[in-house]
Amino acid sequence: MESRLIDWLRDRLPDHPLLQVGLGDDAAVLRMAGAERIVMTTDLLSDGVDFVVGEMDPRRIGHKALAVNLSDLAAMAAQPMAGVVSLLFPHGADYQLAVGLFEGMLPLAEQFSLAMAGGDTNCWPGGLAISITLLGQVTERGPLLRGEAQPGDAVVVSGAFGGSILGRHLDVCPRVNEALALHQGYTIHAGIDCSDGLSLDLSRLAEESGRGATLDAGRIPIHDDARQLSRREADGATPLDHALADGEDFELILAVPPDEAQRMVAEQPLDVMLTIVGEVTAERGLRLRDPSGKLQELRPRGWQHG
C-alpha cells in the first residue's frame, strides 16, 4: 500500500518553497533559513476513541486528524510550516481508506500553506491509528504560552461551547489565522486551545501560570449543539454542563489584560465571536459565579487522556 500511496500523493501535493526533498526518500529536507524559533507538536488519534472507522467518512477522519494538530499551533500563535503523517492500518485495510484520509487532509494543508513532508505507514492487528507531527514558526512576538496569565486578566474565548459530538468534533476549524491576528493586534498574556473541555483546559492554563480563574455562568457562549444534546440525552446535564465539559470545541481560551480584552470584544476583529467569560485570580482553583454574584467551586471536567 505504501508505494501506491506515495505515488498517489506525488500526483496531488503541490510544490512547496520549504520542501527541498519530500516524498520518496528516507527523510524530508526542509529549507528553514531564518526560522529562529520553531514550534513542534504531535497528536495521536485512534479508532474507537477519536473516530469510528466504518461509521464515518474517511475524509472527515483525515480532516480532524490534521486539524487538531493545527489547533495546537493556533494555541501557540504559530504559523504552520511542515508536517509528517504516520498511519497504522488494521490488517486488510482498503487502499481507499488511506486515499480518503489524505483527501481530508490536503485541503487543510493547502489552506494553511503547510508542506506535507512525508511520514510512514504500517499494519497491525488493531484499529486505525493516525500520528501527525507539525512544525510551526512563531512570530516576532514569540510563542503564546499557558504559563504567563496574570491576576486580573480577563478570560476571553472564541466561538461557542458544548455538544461537539453531534458533528463538530470531526469538522474541526483550527483557529490558526484568528490566533495569529489576535497575537499581532493585541497584548495577550497566555493562551490554550479548548480540546478537552472549557473548564478543564482553563484550569490547565491557570495551573501552569500558578493562578486560578473565575467563570461567569451567564456569559459563557453555549453552542446550539449543547442545547440539543441536553434535550436528547435527558440525563440531567444542562447546556451549561455540556459547554463546560464536553470538549473538542477547539476554540481559543486567552488570558488578556482587562483593557485589551474590552477593546478586543468591542472591535470584534474576527469572523468568530469573542467573549469575556471571567477573570484570572491570584487564588488557585476554579470557581463559577452565577448571575446573582454567588461563587461556588467548579471542579474541572472534560476528557482525560489515560
- Residues 75-116 have pLDDT tens digits of 999 999 999 999 999 999 989 999 999 999 999 999 999 999
What span, in angstroms and rounded, lies between the C-alpha atoms of 255 and 196?
18
CA distances from 48 to 127, 129, 203, 247, 249 (A): 8, 10, 27, 17, 19
Residue 5 φ/ψ, nearest 5 degrees: -65, -40
What span, in angstroms and rounded, lies between the C-alpha atoms of 133 and 86?
9
Report the C-alpha dihedral over residues 62, 65, 69, 71, rounded to 10 degrees. Answer: 90
Task: Please tell me the pTM assigned to this model.
Answer: 0.92
Radius of gyration (C-alpha) of the chain in whole angstroms = 20
Average pLDDT over residues 124-143: 94
Q: What is the pLDDT of residues 272-296, one digit of tens each?
A: 999 999 999 999 999 999 999 999 9
Reference 1, options 115, 82, 108, 101; nearest CA is 101
The number of helices, as runs of H, and strands, as runs of E, in the chain is 8, 13
What span, in angstroms and rounded, lies between the C-alpha atoms of 306 and 302?
12
Is residue 290 within 8 Å of 112, Cβ to Cβ?
no
- Beta strands 285-289 and 295-297: pairing type? antiparallel
Residue 216 φ/ψ, nearest 5 degrees: -90, 115
Q: What is the pLDDT of residues 188-240, one digit of tens each?
A: 999 999 999 999 999 999 999 999 999 999 999 999 999 999 999 878 899 99
The span from the first CA to the last CA of the chain, in angstroms, equals 31
Domains of the chain with CATH codes: 2-138 (3.30.1330.10), 154-291 (3.90.650.10)
